[in-house]
Amino acid sequence: MSPLPHLIVRSVDDFVTFMATHHDFDEQELKLLFSQVSRLEKTTKSLKNPAEKRKTWLQYRDIFLDEARISNGVKFWKENEESLEKAEKLYGVPEHIIVSIIGVETRYGKVQGNHRVLDTLATAAFHYPGGSKRRTKLFYDYLVQYLILCREESFDPLSLTGSYAGAMGMVQFMPTPFRNVAVDFDGDGKKDIWGNASDAIGSVANYLNDRGWLRAEPVFSRAMTSSPVRESLVSNGIKTNLDLGLLKSEGIEPVSFFSGRVTDAALYEFEGQAGPEYWIGYRNFSTLGKYNPRIKYMMAVAQLSEEILTRWHSMH
């Protein structure tokens, strides 16, 4: 995969020249394609102020842990039990985690976004709010990968729709992970993450496995505290940079115990109904952050997965 040098791309014309030179695209065809692209103001506004920043944890939690998402998660699990079981065996990712991610991302495929992916990626690549060089380059790269994947999969670049940021399908993959880890899980010759639940399930599991998911290891636990928690112990990132033994020496114990070798941990503070709550995230919780590095997102996936698993067990 050729990197996209940030400095050479200052306009759509530069981008077209780059794609023709480095990836063997037809320059005239690309110029015609980009003449049909629209700048989306919604993309610009939403990138500047995503929901994870706008909403408190309790507001965010209420969106993703509602009754409909739990009950429909159980329904999705039942309808796709064979694919989910196969994915867990092959990739080591628990079925309820896969279901939860698809539930948080798109309500099990019901809300996939209706923005043309090419419009959103081009808007972010050429008009990123605030002019962030790092984010601009990221979306340049996504735009490159998007055009390549459309060529590889015989997709019309103007036909695919997704989120305000260009995420696609039931699993909301950006173009790069699509090319790297999307799978044809049912063997029909197509990687269809839009309408094929089996491909979506296999792709989520392959993504997490590729990012380091640890088979049969825990994800997270509520923490018990016996004394005030030192602020320096609380993490704001996805890395597990503390030892579980250190937390225990500080009077912080996981409520849920497990048998395993995992000692890497991170401590998180969330607002609860009755004050601060503390949670311990293990390396698999950190791996959820590689799907989306927002702590609220990671916790929503983890908590929804537990709710779905509890409901599933109560019915079986």
Q: Are 23 and 2 in contact (CB under 8 A)?
A: yes
Q: Phi first, then psi: what are they for 50, rounded to 5°?
A: -70, 160
105 is catalytic: yes
**Active-site residue, selected from the candidate residues 88, 105, 269, 307:** 105
Residues near 17 by Cβ (< 8 Å), separated by ≥ 6?
Answer: 27
Residues near 173 by Cβ (< 8 Å), separated by ≥ 6?
Answer: 167, 181, 182, 193, 203, 207
Q: Are 307 and 313 in contact (CB under 8 A)?
A: no
Read out DSSP for the chain? Answer: -----GGG-SSHHHHHHHHHHHH---HHHHHHHHTT----HHHHHHHHS-HHHHS-HHHHHHHHS-HHHHHHHHHHHHHTHHHHHHHHHHH---HHHHHHHHHHHHTTTT----EEHHHHHHHHHHS-GGG-HHHHHHHHHHHHHHHHHHHHHT--TTT-EE-TT--BTTTTB-HHHHHHH---TT-SS---TTT-HHHHHHHHHHHHHHTT--TT---EEEEEESSPPPGGGB-SSS---EEHHHHHHTTEEESS---SS--EEEEEEEEETTEEEEEEE-HHHHHHTTT---HHHHHHHHHHHHHHHHHHHHT-
Let me know the angle formed at the C-alpha of 172 by 99 and 237, rounded to the nearest 5 degrees.
85
Positions marked active-site: 105
